Amino acid sequence: MCSRFTLNLGDAINLSQRLGIPLGEMTPERDRFNIAPSTGITTLRTQAAAKLHWGLIPHWSDRNRTTSAPLINARSETVAEKPSFRTAWKKGQRCLIPTSGFYEWEKAGRERLPWLFTRADGEPLVFAGLWDRWQDPKDGVVIESCAVLTTTANTMLGRIHDRMPVILDSTDAKAWLDPELDLPAATALMRPFDADRLHETALDPYVNSTRHEGPQCLTPRGKSPGAQLGFDL
């Protein structure tokens, strides 16, 4: 499961340079601390970066794009079978989604306690994604959209949720975008990221609202939003 994440400009540039895919006009204008579904997100594809709508709209869909529930995640185990994803999967329409960290929420009675997950070595994260191209039959508007692929949660994430995003290291990320990568090999890359390679931080519930933006979203639990943060993304 992945429903919100954060991305700073430095991490986006770092990943694009490492993978040899220029951001160009897709370079984020600013750091983003609370990226939510149904918004435009920076992605990397085989030849270039692209800004894609987060919430995949299948190319065959005739549903109203403003009222349909967004397909923000795709289960890696069934992506080759589900009608919403199978054509994009078979055509190799894979993408990478750069992130600095992602959020998950732990249920504690009626409370939703947020956690931030980042790489333990301080490097940026990159999610495996799938994209599709849809054209509105009414006005001809074209929307390119994407979903984050998910897999079984590792031991760290498992105490909160049974799913986690597919996270790729640099070598696997390059392979993921290789148009020559066959489907069995791509399937093999969709596995849980090792728990000992992630770091978790308990956060203040300020981040729970999608209306909130800015570094206050990273306030550690027990501190007031706006207080000096103990880490930098």
Catalytic positions are 2, 104
| Tokens found for residue 210 | 């999608």
DSSP H helical ranges for 20-124: 86-90
Q: Where are the alpha helices (DSSP H) in 73-141?
A: 86-90
Query: What residues contact 142, with CB distance under 8 A and at least 6 apart?
Result: 133, 134, 135, 136
Query: Beta strands 40-44 and 49-54: pairing type?
Result: antiparallel
Q: Which of 65, 64, 57 is nearest to 84 (CA)?
A: 57
